[in-house]
Amino acid sequence: MNSLRLLWSYARARRNAGRWKTREALERWQDTAVRRHLAWVRRHSPYYQELYAGLDLRNWRDFPIIGKTEMMGNFSRLNTAGLDLGEALRVAQRAEETRDFLPMVKGLTVGLSSGTSGSRGLFAASAAERAEWAGTLLARVLPRGLAAHGQRAALFLRSNSNLYRSIQSRRLSFRYFDLLRPWEELLEQLEAFAPTLLVAPPSALRRLAEARAAGRISVRPDKICAAAEVLEPQDAAFIAAAFGHRAVHGIYQATEGFLGATCAYGTMHLNEDVAVIQREELGEGRFVPIITDFRRRTQPVIRHRLNDVLRERRTPCPCGSLFTALEAVEGRCDDLLVFERVGGGTVEIFPDFIRLAVITAHPAIEEYSVVQDPENGGLRVALKTPLPMAGEAARTVEQSLHRFWKNQRFRPVPLRFGPWSPPEPGQKLRRILRTVPQLP
């Protein structure tokens, strides 16, 4: 393992946090880094050699945008290690099935990432890149810094990878908790491990918080980090309260890289010292990010459009960081619901609006999900409430949604109510969907 590289990246990420005096200086530095990176990628990736043939690298900000489809469709020629997509997929798939997570091809780690709408992504990274990723992550996430001894990080993840196993030392140990294991077993192991840092998807954090509130575990981590799913405000509040914390921190990560983390003030900042994040503006501070990572070489991520909607923070964060501050990672583009205007035409609605209309409707609502049928636009609303309240809660949600449609001048859609059930273990918790979740 590249432990020197890890330490180097760690130190670099810590230093970068306060390295630039102005936003302009940061952007000038990014520009140089991207151009140098693209020159390298163009020499080593057959796909980019062709795509960027004859282009002036100074104009990289306007180069073609690619998405997951292009990335996967051209994977074998796009990566710079001569990795074959079919072979990499076979190895990664086998690791998922056997849950033996040491998938290596040509000395590279490969892994599957679950995308939204059932599309799967593949990532490939070299040992040096993994070390760099880990160093940056630790710099941004570790509550007490790497110099402090006896830190224990508990990671609840859908799938392990030798990425996480690689970091073990006297100062820091990682323990991976497989979300597909029986819950009782996980609770017992977590209690014994006594983590100082707890990282998990919000759905798992929520269950851990319930277990803690019920006195079934007594762990008291210094820091709690939500990863892999959108953390909704009511979950954040519940989880923080159960663990006696002021806030739940967050990691913003995708196949496309480690994109952001919360600062000491709980504000999510983008990692603009490893990637440029361009914006496809949606108005009112919302944007879809287009990522250009200028560190990753094995699997270049350049002008890569993510299926996320980010909302910028309107006021500067008190921590003073120059890195873009976000109010929220609002969710994936597929979570937009579609309604018809009364006068004709359709409109896409951010999940936030529906979320508000549902959770503010009735105080007894503990959990919910809203699934839109793309055929007729109807909504299937599942609610978790104490039983005697179910009928009343459904009625108030119905009224709340009708009020929303009326105010917005949308045509009402058919509503169906039913009881809520938790996501299958290992599945992402997604409350607002536009399609019926597909079975694997």
Could you list the residues that contact Zn ion (CB under 5 A)? 263, 265, 267, 317, 319, 321
125 closest CA partner among 140, 106, 153, 97:
106
| Residues contacting 205, CB < 8 A, separation 6+ | 156, 198, 224, 226, 235, 239, 248
Residue closer to Zn ion by CB (options 203, 267) is 267
Residue closer to Zn ion by CB (options 51, 274) is 274
Residue closer to Zn ion by CB (options 70, 312) is 312
Question: What are the residue ranges of helices labelled H in 151-221?
Answer: 162-165, 183-193, 202-213
Residue 423: CB minimum distance to Zn ion, A? 31
Q: For residues 312 and 287, is the Cβ–Cβ distance under 8 A? A: yes
| Residues contacting 401, CB < 8 A, separation 6+ | 354, 357, 358, 379, 412, 415
280 closest CA partner among 240, 317, 252, 307:
307
Residue 270: CB minimum distance to Zn ion, A? 11
Strand partners, 416: 380
Residue closer to Zn ion by CB (options 16, 396) is 16
Please count the helices (runs of H) and the strands (runs of E) in the chain.
13, 21
Residue 248: CB minimum distance to Zn ion, A? 15
Residue closer to Zn ion by CB (options 262, 298) is 262
Residue 263: CB minimum distance to Zn ion, A? 3
Residue 252: CB minimum distance to Zn ion, A? 14
Residue 218: CB minimum distance to Zn ion, A? 31
The full 3-state SS of 226-285, as one line of letters, equals: ECCCCCCHHHHHHHHHHHCCCCCEEEEEECCEEEEEECCCCCEEECCCCEEEEEEEEECC
Residue closer to Zn ion by CB (options 66, 261) is 261
Residue 136: CB minimum distance to Zn ion, A? 17
Residue closer to Zn ion by CB (options 206, 223) is 223
Q: What are phi and psi of 182, to 5 degrees?
A: -60, 140
Residue closer to Zn ion by CB (options 318, 418) is 318
Cα gap 296→179, rounded to integer Å: 28
Cα gap 245→212, rounded to integer Å: 13
Q: Which region holds residue 49: left if phi is over 0, alpha if psi is between -120 and 50, else beta?
A: alpha
Residue closer to Zn ion by CB (options 265, 353) is 265
Residue 316: CB minimum distance to Zn ion, A? 9
Measured in whole angstroms, how far is the alpha carbon of residue 53 from the centre of its chain? 33
The first and second tokens of residue 420, run together, are 């809520």
Residue 253: CB minimum distance to Zn ion, A? 18
